[in-house]
Structure formats: structure tokens, C-alpha cells
Chains A and B, each alone.
Chain A
Amino acid sequence: MLFIVAVFIISADTMAQTAKRSFKPVDLLHIPTLEDPQLSPDGKWIAYSLSEVDSAKDNRVSHLWMQSYDGKQSIELTQGSDPASSPKWTPDGKYLSYLSERDSKNGGQVWLMDRRGGEGRKLTDIKGSLEDYVWSPDSKKLALIIKDPENKGKPEPKTPRPIKIDRYHFKQDVDGYLQHLHSHLYIYDIATKKLDTLTKGDMDDSSPVWSPDGKTIAFVSNHTVDPDRNENSDIFTIEAKSGAEANQLTTFTGRDSSPLWSPDGKHIAYLRSTSDADYFIYQHEVLCLMDADGKNNKLLTEQLDRPVSNHVWSKDSKNIAYLVSDDRIRYIAQYNLLLHKSTVINKSAQSSFENIVAHSPGNWIVKMTNPHLPHELVAIENGKIRRLTFHQDKWLNKVKLAYVKGFQSFSSDGTLVSGILYTPDSVVNKKLPFILYIHGGPTDQDEFEFDAIRQVLASAGYAVAAVNYRGSTGRGIEFTKAIYADWGNKEVKDLLGAVDELVKMGIADPQRLGIGGWSYGGILTDYTIATDTRFKAAASGAGSALQLSIYGSDQWVVQYDNELGPPWKNAEKYIKLSYPFFHADKIKTPTLFMSGLKDFNVPTGGGEQMYQALISLGIPTELVLYPGQNHGISVPSYQVDRVQRYIGWFDKYLGPPTL
């Protein structure tokens, strides 16, 4: 086995030298995205969705695929220009259901595909937005989460009605202006096609899961007086019949979420935030367990001091598998209920996992990525990885990717910081023009995964660094919390420390330093260039600098009121955190600003104001606006345009790299 792998690598390398071309911006259009693996009840098939770019329509279209567990067969199940997503097997194995807007005037509906044969057919015709659906264990019912329909389900009038806002939290990216449309739990009977309301009211319900006996549904909701003002979601159960009363299981004043019944029905595993404050962004989730009636809550991973996600019960109810975000990787661990302890299932040095599915005791199916491979499905059998899908090979075979390795640096205050370095080749013979490309969040981390943007930049001839500055996850809660109400201070020290280290290592040319990022990465770009003038070019995407301007104009008011205080009580703090704007005259770096015009997460004003400041100061600058785009740029041609403009801008001010 080992021998075969080695041969494969050698032959791939040989091919690279002869035929492979470098990875280019337009290759972003060739990368499929694999999501949502679902195991058939008999354990033989994994259904999932795969989205690919339709360049004519300039969008991504997802379709359902099915992969045999033995690795031998791969079948595309849905076709056409209307996407299909969210595959789920009926527990009796007779149907594969999914969501599609095909033949629907009311958005996504549940479709059924008969496993004996035949095309899918539309099952539901629901008004409102179908956000989630789950099969009852007897395959006779669906628990649905439906968001109230716009305009009470009537067609939009020719002149849209004025939008009346009266909520505290009134803007949200993608959702837009928030009024009083709420998501509630419904039961849909497959045989009678009857829809029953389970919950209602001025709050949102989500994450429904059926108890194994099919009698009860657990779900998540925030039942405080004004859910806009805190994150105190709790886990509730409700009998699966109309008129039933919800029963609150958790009482922690932070966030309880993601309930999962053990297959034997005795326990509910769930996630809980570490903080019980109304709002706290610098925290992570802890895996918890309680009895099915809400008693005996236990924190299972508190000592781990790492974010836990995506927990899954083994079919024998003995283990809970989960993902751990740890210093640049995301590994799989499991908690054993008998031994009361966690062990590692698979921890690969340069890989990250997502979407665990329990196969059979000891065996799991999971999505895996590494710096040279976007997500594919693998089986993990007694800790060993067996690859199941091969959707990426077609385009990967044609291109040469950048070389990726980890590095660490010390900041000026002695903090050890982890980073990932991308270079055009594994051997660096001379100093390279350099781009520090900063992740968003801030509560997140750069991992060893396939990173298209940094790959493209490195393939254009740059050394590119990702740095997990303080505020990032994966290094413990103290590392994350360090930047509380102190933005643009320790992060900048960590970023600059990494740059210093790469200069010292002879990789980054100190005369040709570039910087950039998106979201909090754009915000940190502004902070960094206002702190240090050594960068010759910057690209600040979806960022902001005058933090006063985003109070009330973005989606984060509850964070600001909690972390910084209201501006009229704590103006000095806001002004301090806005130093790139109030000291814009310290900036000397030519900067390309970018924004999606429908971004309510970090609105366009953030880019506009810094653009205006720099052009007023005569510093070379440009503002590129993407029509109709939210915080994340989703139109494929814009994704390509963005990286092309990055390369154009860095080439212009750093000098085009010599490859």
C-alpha cells in the first residue's frame, strides 16, 4: 500500500514537470464543491451534493451524486439547470429525498426519488422558505423548519411595500432588513400531505431532530424576552403533534445548540458556548451530554480548550465522534460514554475534516481536504483513510499547485504564532515578492486545507503567508479572547512578527511586501498599513476602519453594545479602534478596496470611507464594487475577477514576480 502511494507521487511529479501548467484565477471555475454526505440506511451508498460552475449562467449549480461505500460506483442522480441539494434517505431506505426549486413558485420544496427507479417527484408545495427538514424514524413524517413567507405569501406588489423596521437587530447579511418573519417547526404527513404547525411566536426555531421512538422532536430556540439582544438559545423538546407544548431542557444563558439523540434514545448530545454573556464573539463550543429529559448535563470537552463541532453518535450509542479545531488542522476525536474519555480517531499533520457520518462501529465517512486537494469523501476505517470520491482529479491533473508548509513566528511581545506559507515551488532560491493574506473572523483559523486564493497568488509567483493572529481559534480560548475590545493591536503585532520571520528566513523580499484580506482580514489590512508603512501594496476587501460608521449599519450591534459599549457612553473606545481612519495620513500603502454592494456584514461604507481618505491624501487607490453581492462573493466570474485584480494590483506595486 505504502509502496503504491509512493509510485503515484513520483509519477505525478514527473507529469508536473512535463505537462502541468500553473494554477490560474480562471481555474476557480473548475473546482467542484462537495457537500452534505448522507449514508443510506443499509450502509452501502453515500449520497451527497456536488456543485459545479455553469459559466454561461455564471452561477454554481448543485446536483446529487451517490457513491458506493465499497468505492466502486459513482452515479449522478439529478440533472438539469435547476439545482438539487440537501439529500436525505428515508429511514426505511425506500426514498432519497432532496430540496429543489424545480417546478415551484414558492422556492425550494422536498422532492422524492424512489430507490426502485424513476425520476424525482415534488412532494411538498410550501409557502415560505423551507430551511430544514428531517425524516421521522418511521419514514411517515417530516419535521420542517419553515420561515414565514414574504408578504404573507401573496405575490409581491408592483411597488414593493415600504420596509418598516422596529427591531433592535434589523440588518443581517444575505437576509437583508429584518422584520418579523420567523422560522418555526411544522410536521408534514407524507401520506395525507397535511401540514401541522408545531411552534409559533416572535422567535425562531431551528435544528429539529426526532427522538428514535418518533414521538418527540428536539430543537433549538431563544425564548428570552428579546432574542435580538442575546445569544441565549436553548434546547427544547416538543411532542410531535399539533397543540403540544415545548419543554425547555437547557438553561445555560449562553448558547446551547445542535441537539442529537443517542440512537438508544437515552441521551442528547449537544454543543454549548463557553461564555454565558449576552454576546461574546471570542469563544468556542464545548461538547455536552444530558439525559433525554434534560437532566445530568455534563461538559465533555471542557479541558480540551479547543472548539468542537459536528458531533455524531456511533450507531451503538457508545461513542460520540466530533471535530476539533486545533492549531491549523481539524481532526476527528470521539468520546466514549463507558470510559468517560475522548480519544483521537484521525489526526493528520496537514489535513482537515468536515461532515462526519457514522458508518458502523469503528468506521466513519468524512469530507477531507489538504493543501493540494479540495474536499473529497473518505472512509475512516479503524483510523485509516480510504478515499471514496475523485471529483477534483480532472482539473487537478492539469495544474501545478504551490508548495505549502507550516511555520511559526514570535511576536514582539513574545507570543508564539502559527502560520502557513505558500511558495511557487518547494525550493526557494531567492527572496520572493510577498503577500500576507489575512483570514477573516477573527474567531477562526487558517487550516491545512485547499485554499484557492492563496494558491492562485502563490502560483502567480508570490510567497504567500496565512497567519493565525491572536483572536484566531485553534490555540485555546485565551489566545482567542486576547483581542477583546482591543482590535487592531495584538493582531497587528502577530502579523508583523510573521512578516519579520519570513524576511529573516530569506523568503520574503522586504522591499516587495504586500498585504490583503477579506472581512476581518480587510479590517486588519487597514489596521496594519496604518501601523507600519513597509507594505508597498494592499488589497482590503469587505473591511472597515471607522468603526463608528458600522454601528447601526451592519449586523453586529449586539456585539458592539456588549463588547465596546454604546458609542454615546464609550466614544473614546470607538475612536481608538478607528485609528486607520483618524490617522489615515499615516498610511502610505497603495490600496485596492473591494466590497459586495449588498454586504450587510461589513457594509460597503467601510471600503468607501478608506478609499475616500486615501484618494483625498493622494495615495494610489481604487474601489471595486461587486453588484448584487453579499459579504461572500458568490458569482463565479466575480470570484475570478477578484483574484485577477489582486494579482494586477500586487504586480503593479510590487513588481511582477519572475517565475
Chain B
Amino acid sequence: MLYHYMKRAILSVIVLSIFFYASAQEKTFLKPADIYRIPSVSDPQLSPDGKWVAYSVSIVDTAKDKRVSHLWMQSWDGKEVIELTHGDEAASTPRWSPDGKYLAFLSARDSKNGSQLWMIDRRGGEGYKVTDIKGDLSEYAWSPDSKKLVLVIGDPANKGKEEPKTPKPIVIDRYHFKQDIEGYLQHLHDHLYLFDVNARKLDTLTKGDKDENSPVWSPDSKTIAFVSNRTADPDKNQNKDIFTIDARPNATMLQLTTWKGRDANPQWSPDGRYISYLRTTSDANYMMYDHNVLCIMDAVGSNNRVLTQQLDRPVAGQVWKDNKNMLFMVIDDRQRYLAGINVNNGKISTLIKGMYSISDINTNASGNVVVAESDPYTPAEMFAVEGDKLRRLTFHHQAWLNTVKLAHVSGFQSRSVDGTDVSGILFKPDSVAGKKWPLILFIHGGPVGQDEYTFDITRQVLASAGYAVIGVNYRGSNGRGLDYCKAIYADWGNKEVKDLLGAVDYMERMGIADPNRLGIGGWSYGGILTDYTIASDTRFKAAASGAGSALQLSVYGSDQYVLQYENEIGAPWKNADKWIQISYPFFHADKIKTPVMFMSGLRDFNVPTIGSEQMYQALRSQGIPTELILYPNQFHGLTKPSYQVDRLQRYIEWYSKYLK
């Protein structure tokens, strides 16, 4: 086995080097339009026998200008890869029946009511539609005995009737009434339903004016654990708890957790004894600067224990490997690594860690473990975890990667004016030292998130256009511990700006950035920080502020974050001075000298278009070169492939106009 593997690996290396060498001449720098060629690989699911990994691959349909995902299946031995679904309509969320007989998935194919559950018989044949549900089918899980499915269905809009020709007036009476993608929030809720596979019968499990999500079956197929916020007004806090309910109609739910923060992502241990879950560290009604810790409790909710308190890093995606051990991801300084824990002795071990990022873990009784992994030069592919090694299973990116030249990526650290050490990632057109480049500081959103060693299309394209590009994990980012993240609480645009400028100073000192050709940009909180930074320092010659805001008073009540504002900043009528202080780029717009291109999706409820409009207006009023680019029908994240390409092209044009 080892021999075969080695031989094949060596062979591939030889073959690949020849190929690389042969094509080296023809390789061109990555360009915005390459977005059309990049698939997205996600959601690995091991078959019960461990022999196959099902997953979804979405590719761009340029004629329709959208991404369409289809299901694929890769053999564990690496030899076979099969596309399972085809056609114009997407298929996603593959889930094997535990008895191995079916592969279920979601698709809106042949449906008037949105996504439905489909199944492929593993013995052969095309997929067939199993449900015809009105409402929004968002999640589902097989019962361990393969007889039932638990479904999460959102109440249908307009009570399941056809939308009248004149849409009904929207009546808002909730505290939290806007949410990106969902739109204006009324009283549609997610509930649990049981679907009997043989009888094709749907039973209601939960109802009411709360939401129930994340259902998981107990190993004996009798009980379902799920997550719900059942406080008097769930709009006013994030106090989600874990509940269980018998898997039969009219059963009563049982609350397992009582932490006032958020309890989420329950996972039963294979023997049914424990439920592991994730919990926030803060028990406030709302705390943005927080992370999840891994917890465990008995299946009845007693003996809750936090397992990763000392780690001081966000934990995600835990799975049970056996009755004693769990695997999970840890977000740590520009990396996302695979760790394990023995729940008996609490010992945490680092399993797979390096200059890359693990984004998904799947395992089952077969004992095999598959993860999705990306590095700075490769978007996510599927890998088998073998001991402390990864074995690449899928090669969906090879074709296009073979034709392009990527920027060189390295890490760096800078020290801010107040002495804080800050981690960053540098992208350069080549690896040659000593060359000076025009610089683009491209700032990540969040703020609670981090730039990781993953394939980063935006920074790659910008670097390929002839810039040094940096990603900087300013304070507020995660991966450096909770205090680092919390540092910006109710103090926006202060320490972040110090950290960003510290990184730019460092790049200048290192002779990498040309101090006369500095650009800046970002999306979401990255756009917000672009505004803060150019209002603090006039050295930037060009900026691109996407989905940002500066007059933070304007987003109170017009975006989705009212709960954060009232908890972190206070109501505007009680704390106006604070609001005015954190809106300094607008109230001191006359300090800005940087030409800025503002961008926004016109249906963005996360950072609404007004954030860009107001700063555009302020700059335009003063005669500073500025442009506002609006993307019709787009939410906070641009999803239209042609708009994603357009945005990158406009970045390059704007920066080259003022930096080159």
C-alpha cells in the first residue's frame, strides 16, 4: 500500500513537473476574468463504508452569469472521480443515508416551491424528488436507522399562496427587522419536521414564534437535539440554547443548556452518552468580539464542561472521531488547523498545522477523516487525513492553475505605534527581494475574522497587476486571543488604524512599498476601516471602499446590527457623543484628500448602500476625485460572477489611475 502510494506520488510529481516546465512559458498572470474559471469545492461527506467522499463543486455558467453547484464523488483511494448530477439546476448538500443505500441532496429542479429533497439510489439511476414542501427547506439530517429525516423548514412567504400581482405592504413590528439576504423580517420562522422516508409523510415536530435549527439525531434514532432561542424576545439577545425533543409528533422539548450567551452546534457522541457543543465566552445579550469554546455535557444536559478555555482561540466544526475523541478546527494566527481532544483527560493535540487553512471536517464510523483545505496557491480541495499527514483527494483546480502565474505569498509581522505586534500576509508579483512596489493595503472585513494562508483571489489579482498587497490582522481580528479581539470594543477606527498604519510603515521600511504610491481598500468592515484610515492619514493616493460606512448614526435602524449598537455603543439618544466620535470620517470629511471609489450592492442590508453614498457625496461636494459603483440586486457579498470580475477590474483601473 505504502509502496503503491509512494510510486504514484512520485510519478505524479514527475508528470506534474514536466507539465509545469513545459507550460511555464505560456503562463500568464492571474486576471480578473479568471474568476470565471475557478470552481468552488465544498461540503465533503464520507460514505458510510468510507470508500467515497461526496461533495459539491460549483462552477460559473457564464451565459447565465451565475454559479451552479453539482454533486461529485471521489473514491477514498484517489482513483476515481465521478460527477453525480448535471444540468442547469443546482444540486447541493449531499448526505448519505446511514445504511449506505441513498445519497440525498437538495435541489430546486422541477419544483415550484424552492429546494426539495432528492435522492439517488446507490444501486443506480437518476435522482428523484422526494418532497414537495412549501416553505424554505434549509437543513436536513438522516436518522441513524435511515428511516426518517429531520428537516428544517422556514414558514413560506405569503402563507404558501402565490404572491399577489401587487405585493402586500410589508408590515414591520419586530425589533430586529432587517437582515441581509433575508430582507425585511416579519414573522416567518424555522421549525423542525419529521419526514418518513417510506411513507413519504411529513410530521410537524415544533411550531410557534421561535426558530429551531441545527437538528442532530441521537445514535438510537429516538431523540433530536437542536438549537433555539426561547427567550421572551429573541431579537434582543443571542441567548441560543440546546434542546432535545423526542422524534415523534407532539413531543415536548427539553432545554439542556442555560448559558445566557450562545450555545450551538450540538453533536452526539457515537455511544449517545455525551453531547458536545460550542459556546460563546460572553454571556452578554450581544457581544461581537467573542469566540466559541468547545463544550461537552451528558446527553441529558448535566455536567457541562468547557474543554478549550485555556486555548484562547476560536474553535469550530467539532466532530466525534470515537466515543473518547473529537476533532475540531482552531483559528490561530493566519492559520486554521486541525486539533484533537481526548474528552476523558481533556488533552488537546495539534494534528495538522501549517501555512494553510482547514475549512471543513467530516468523519464517520468508517474511521476515515476528510477535510477541505486551502493554501495561498490553491483554493480548497478535499484531503484525506492520514495520521499527521494530508493526502490530496481532489484536483478540481489543476486545470486553470496550470495556466496562470500566481503572486508570491509570505507572512510578516509589524509593530504598531503603541507597541502591539500585528500579523500580516504579503502578496508580491514575484519573490525577488529588494524591489519596491506600489502598495495596496487590502483590509479584511468582520472585524472578527482574520486573513489566513488561503487562496485569496482579490489580493492575488491585485498583486498580479503589479502591486505589493498586504492583508493585516488588525486588532479586532481573531486568531490572536480574546483580548486582542476585544480591544476595539466601542472604540472603532482607533487601534485598527494604528495597526494598519504600522504595517504600512513596516512595508515602507523594508523597502517593499513605495511611500509615494500607497493605496488602500477593503470590503465591509474593510471598507469602514478604509474610511477611518484615510480620514486619519492623507498619505494614501487612492482608496477603494466597498460596502463600508462612516456616519455610523445612519446605519442605526437601517442595517441588521441594532442589537450590537444598543449593547456596545448605547442608544443614540443616550450616547450621541460616542456615535459622533466613531463617525469621524464623515464629521471630518474635510481631512480626507485621498481619491476614493465607493462600491455597494444595492440590496445590502448588512452595510447598506447609504454608507457609501454619504461618503461619496461628502467627497464629491469637496471636489475630491470620487466614484460610486452600485451593483443592482446584490447583497453584502457580491454573487454575480460578472460583478465579481467587474469589481476587480475597477480596483485595478482605479489604483493604476492614481498609483501608476
A residues near B, CB below 8 A?
57-58, 158-160, 162-168, 170-171, 177, 546, 548-549, 551-553, 557, 561, 566-569, 571, 575, 581-585, 597, 603, 605, 608-613, 615-617, 621-628, 635, 637-638, 641
Contacts and interface: CB of A to CB of B under 8 A. Distances in A.
Contact of A641 (B169, B576, B646): B169
Given A553-B613, A583-B573, A168 B172 contact: no
B482 to A, nearest CB: 28
Given A616-B571, A624-B170, A608 B558 contact: yes
A571 B580 contact: yes
Contacts of A621: 173
User: By DSSP majority rule, is chain A's interface helix, strand, loop, or mixed?
Assistant: mixed
Interface string B611-624: 00111111011100
A611 B557 contact: yes
A616 B562 contact: yes
Contact of B557 (A582, A583, A612, A617): A612
A158 B642 CA distance: 11
Nearest to A626: B169
11 contacts: A159-B643, A167-B620, A546-B556, A566-B589, A575-B580, A613-B557, A616-B175, A625-B184, A635-B166, A637-B166, A641-B169
A571 B562 contact: no
Nearest to B65: A159
In this complex, which of A609, A621, A622 has the most chain B Cβ atoms within 10 angstroms of its Cβ?
Answer: A609
A611 B176 CA distance: 11
B557 A605 contact: yes
Contacts of A57: 165
B200 interface: no
B319 interface: no
B551 A549 contact: yes
Contacts, number: 172
Contact of B618 (A567, A583, A616): A567
A171 B630 CA distance: 12
Nearest to B557: A612
Q: Which 10 A-B pairs have the closest CB atoms?
A: A552-B617, A612-B557, A165-B628, A623-B172, A609-B557, A552-B614, A163-B630, A549-B554, A625-B170, A160-B632
Contacts of B590: 566, 568-569
A622 B173 contact: yes
A170 B628 contact: yes
B623 to A, nearest CB: 9
A82 B166 CA distance: 19
User: By DSSP majority rule, is chain B's interface helix, strand, loop, or mixed?
Assistant: mixed
Contacts of A616: 175, 562, 566, 571
A626 B633 CA distance: 18
B574 interface: yes
Contacts of B170: 597, 624-627
Contacts of A166: 620, 626-628
Contacts of B177: 608, 611-612, 623
Contacts of B275: none
Nearest to B583: A548
Interface of B: 65, 165-167, 169-175, 177-178, 184, 551, 553-554, 556-558, 562, 566, 571-574, 576, 580, 586-590, 602, 608, 610, 613-618, 620-622, 626-633, 640, 642-643, 646
Contact of A585 (B573, B602, B610, B622): B573
Contacts of A611: 172, 177, 557
In this complex, which of B169, B172, B628 has the most chain A Cβ atoms within 10 angstroms of its Cβ?
Answer: B169
Contacts of B631: 162-163
A552 B613 CA distance: 6
B166 A605 contact: no
A168 B621 CA distance: 7
A635 to B, nearest CB: 6
Nearest to A638: B169
A584 B573 contact: yes
Contacts of A627: 167, 169-170
Contacts of B167: 627-628
A569 B618 CA distance: 11
Nearest to A633: B169
Contacts of A637: 166
A393 B630 CA distance: 49
Given A162-B632, A605-B557, A608-B557, A625 B169 contact: yes
A219 to B, nearest CB: 28
A158 B640 CA distance: 11
A532 B640 CA distance: 50
Nearest to A583: B573
B562 A612 contact: yes
A171 B618 CA distance: 14
Given A159-B640, A582-B572, A546 B554 contact: yes
Given A575-B580, A615-B175, A638-B166, 9 more contacts: A158-B65, A166-B626, A549-B558, A551-B618, A552-B615, A566-B589, A605-B554, A612-B557, A622-B173
A193 to B, nearest CB: 36
A609 B630 contact: no
Given A165-B629, A569-B590, A581-B572, A552 B618 contact: yes
A638 B164 CA distance: 13
A158 B628 CA distance: 22
A165 B576 CA distance: 31
Contacts of B178: 608
A249 B580 CA distance: 48
Given A165-B616, A605-B558, A624-B172, A58 B553 contact: no
Contacts of A612: 177, 556-557, 562
Contacts of B175: 615-616
Contact of B617 (A58, A160, A551): A551
B493 to A, nearest CB: 16
Contact of B553 (A167, A546, A624): A546
A329 B177 CA distance: 43
B168 to A, nearest CB: 8
Given A566-B621, A625-B170, A585 B586 contact: no
A160 B646 CA distance: 12
Contacts of B602: 163
B632 A163 contact: yes
B589 A568 contact: yes
Contacts of B620: 166-168, 170
Contacts of A610: 557
A553 B629 contact: no
A533 to B, nearest CB: 15
B214 to A, nearest CB: 28
A623 B175 CA distance: 11
Nearest to A635: B166
A641 to B, nearest CB: 6
Contacts of A624: 169-172
Nearest to B167: A627
Contacts of A583: 573
Nearest to B177: A623
A163 B169 CA distance: 28
Contact of B627 (A165, A567, A626): A165
A513 B587 CA distance: 39
In this complex, which of B165, B617, B622 has the most chain A Cβ atoms within 10 angstroms of its Cβ?
Answer: B617
Nearest to A628: B167
A162 B646 contact: yes
A566 B589 CA distance: 10
In this complex, which of A165, A168, A171, A603 has the most chain B Cβ atoms within 10 angstroms of its Cβ?
Answer: A165
In this complex, which of A162, A165, A557, A626 has the most chain B Cβ atoms within 10 angstroms of its Cβ?
Answer: A162
Contacts of A617: 571
Contacts of A582: 572-573, 576
A57 B553 CA distance: 41
A571 B551 CA distance: 12
A158 B184 CA distance: 26
Contacts of B580: 571, 575
Contacts of A171: 613
Contacts of B608: 605
A584 B556 CA distance: 13
A637 B164 CA distance: 12
